[in-house]
Copies of this chain bind each other. A is one copy, B any other.
């Protein structure tokens, strides 16, 4: 499995390298900055889920690949903007300096903008499939990345800093900030395989539960891990009084929540049988992180 994951990550990396504008395209600064963050050592979790979802519905990895790259571009844009001094103010991400530390704030804002825009361009590079014309795919991505999902999560997160927040509000943040794009990654993969409505619904449940589990684990790791191991500043959430699961319900309940959510995710895959093997393995891979 480990080898399989590495191979898939390489496949995604090669596709991103092929699809993104080259670093020598003018103006060079912006294309260097876009590539810097995209190739700063991400786990490619969203693209891997996208590809695995396509396969679980009988589709091909090749067809889903541009969509997998599009969600990674949206994810990377959101990280660049989240890390800005006016947002979470993070100097490190995935073990390397953040975009604004390397290129300055202005270019970092623009590199994020450019990756978001490029994601939509990428979606128009696929032909669309059966029930899912490109119009539907663009709509799916725009809503997931929009002011009531991804951006909503970031807004509420920003506004709740230093305040005590309720569990429902915390779940809203996690659902919007993490689960929405993760679920859309999976749905776009399924759409590339012309999935049925039932398949799409089951996969959405899987994505929702997995996304929440993923974020809960991330919160836990921030408390329990060292900066070196995380590749980003550990304990950052505590220092900046961020809303996190351990802060709201404690470490033990957070761990149980992560396990329960992963179980929920697994159950949503039942109807896929052996076809969901890779999706199961990806869920495992997520849960096995040392929290």
Contacts and interface: CB of A to CB of B under 8 A. Distances in A.
Interface in A90-118: 104-107, 109-110, 112-114, 116-118
Contact of A120 (B84, B87, B138, B154): B138
Interface string A17-28: 000010001110
A109 B158 CA distance: 12
A29 interface: yes
A142 B159 contact: no
Contacts of A154: 110
Contact of A107 (B31, B105, B158): B158
Interface residues of A, number: 50
Interface in A120-162: 120-121, 123-124, 128, 133-136, 138-139, 141-143, 145-148, 151-152, 154-156, 158-159
Interface of A: 21, 25-27, 29-31, 34, 77, 81, 84, 86-87, 104-107, 109-110, 112-114, 116-118, 120-121, 123-124, 128, 133-136, 138-139, 141-143, 145-148, 151-152, 154-156, 158-159
25 contacts: A21-B148, A27-B152, A27-B156, A27-B159, A29-B159, A30-B147, A84-B106, A84-B109, A107-B158, A110-B158, A112-B113, A116-B116, A117-B142, A117-B145, A117-B146, A117-B151, A118-B142, A120-B120, A120-B141, A120-B142, A121-B146, A128-B135, A133-B135, A134-B135, A134-B138
